[in-house]
Amino acid sequence: MSSPSIAVIGAGAAGTAAARTLQAAGVEVDLYARSGETPYNRTLVNKGIAIGLLEPAQAALPDTGATTRLETVRGLDPRSRQLRLDSGDTGAYDALVIATGSRPRALDEEVIGRDQAISAGRLTTLHSAADAVRVRDLLATTQPARVLMIGGGLVASETASLLIDASHDVALITRAAIPGASAIGEHVARRLRDLHRPQHAAYLERTVRSIRTHTDRISITLNDGSKVEGDLAVVAHGTVPAAPSPWTGPDGIPVDSRLRSLHAPRQRIYAAGGVAVHHYPGHGSYRIDHWDDSVAQGIHAAKALLHDLGMAGDPGQYLPSSLFSASIHGHTLTGAGHPALGTRSRIICEEPLITAHYLGDALVALTGVDSAGPLRDLMPRLHHPDPAADPVTRQGA
């Protein structure tokens, strides 16, 4: 019997993890990256490239052992199992992992002057290596620069902190009164907000109404009529899935508990990482777009594929349990699982701060500040019921 032809689309965290897992099982893999782009570690976009600590080549990912093709997959036909490539060529597969990740959410097109600011290089996202190079080059011409950070989540917060450490001035513009509360929970988000306050100006509960681009700066008018000026504005409003046809659009690829595509359940198509849309029991759909969880999803999808080919055991249900962290103004925010799944939260330790997030009586996530060690110790409890007499609860009381 001939070896199955396996394709992995996307060469980021999920794609490279899937390719390595499949290669380790003795399966030959074609790994498709974007045209002309060497696969790189996206966590180093803001941590290294944008602030000038690393060149893009230094963020390159190690070789997976798979056959890597630097050509974007534009679409696929699940019935014929054919890929449509950037060049017009086609590729065949017997089983497929889609790990095409995400793209940054842009500033609303209704914002007056948005497109002119983008064209002038004064308004950008910070999602790709190319974004990071543009930011780095502009910062190099203005010392110190004033950067307007539009957004208040973990990426925005960490980037603001890194810029301040590099002696730049930062103003944070956020739509929420407690930035990040919907993603990491209100308790930790309040602590995060308090870390920002002594460091830079923060415009909370504000949105961008218009942008005026000048030769050497931009001026942003907020919804309350106030104006903020800077050398550069960075939009950090999260991401949306980036899937090939026929899944193009903002909705991503819905998957089952083994990360098989729900729209093509018998076609041996799997999705992992920022492009995959999951369903947690007792909860609606959700998506996770951070590096370590994407790695975990890539491995899980590959194991499910091997199981469906009769080459491995059932990996079981995928449940988000990976760690994530961000360094912000000398402190480390750490989390595990997916806090947005929770419908209630509880502080189980004040110092260091650790918060537990629950869906029903199941612990689905943990978040904390300067609490990485104790938080890791609690991780085995994720996705299990938390009895009222839990000794951890008594300890943090």
| Residue 166 placed within a domain | yes
Residue bearing the bigger pLDDT, 180 or 264: 180
**How confident is residue 385, by pLDDT bands cut at 50, 70 and 90?**
confident
Whole-prediction pTM value?
0.94
The single-letter DSSP state of residue 153 is: S
Q: Is residue 50 a part of any domain in this protein?
A: no
Predicted pLDDT at 110: 95
Q: Which residues of 228-244 are buried (b: 16+ CB within 10 A; e: fewer)?
A: bebbbbbbbbebbbbbb
- pLDDT digit string (tens) for 296-354? 999 999 999 999 999 999 999 999 999 999 999 999 999 999 999 999 999 999 999 99
Q: What was the pLDDT predicted at 389?
A: 32
The answer to the question of residue 348 being in a domain is: yes
Q: What would the pLDDT profile of 154-177 be if each residue is shown by its tens digit? A: 999 999 999 999 999 999 999 999
Question: Quick one: pLDDT at residue 387?
Answer: 58
What's the pLDDT band for 395 if we cut at 50, 70, 90? very low
Number of domains the chain is built from:
3
Are 227 and 130 part of one and the same domain? Answer: yes
Distance, in Å, from the CA atom of 81 to the CA atom of 104, rounded to the nearest integer, reads 29
Within this chain, do residues 269 and 209 fall inside the same structural domain, yes or no? no
- Are 125 and 213 in a shared domain? yes
**Mean pLDDT across 1-17:** 91
pLDDT band at 264 (very low <50, low <70, confident <90, very high): confident
Verify that 187 and 288 share a domain, yes or no: no
User: Residue 346: which CATH number?
Assistant: 3.30.390.30
Supply the range of the domain harboring residue 219.
114-237
User: Do 328 and 315 contact (CB within 8 A), yes or no?
Assistant: no
Same domain, 261 and 198: no
Percent of the chain with pLDDT over 90: 90
Residues 260, 359: one domain? no
Residues 230 and 283 in one domain: no
**Is 165 in the same domain as 198?**
yes
CATH number at residue 75: 3.50.50.60
- What pLDDT score was predicted for residue 393? 42
Asked whether the predicted pLDDT for residue 369 surpasses 70, the reply is yes
Q: Which of the four pLDDT bands, split at 50, 70 and 90, describes residue 396?
A: very low
The pLDDT of residue 248: 83
Helical packing angle, 154-165 and 186-196, nearest 10°: 20
Average pLDDT, the chain: 93
Q: Do 220 and 369 have their domain in common?
A: no
Residue 318 located in a structural domain = no
Return the sign of the alpha-carbon dihedral for residues 85, 83, 20, 41: positive
Residues 97 and 138 in one domain: no
Summarised one tens digit per residue, pLDDT across range 175-223 is 999 999 989 999 999 999 999 999 989 999 999 999 999 999 999 999 9
- pLDDT attached to residue 252: 94
Residues 120 and 228 reside in one and the same domain: yes
Closest CA to 191 of 339, 369, 53, 350: 369
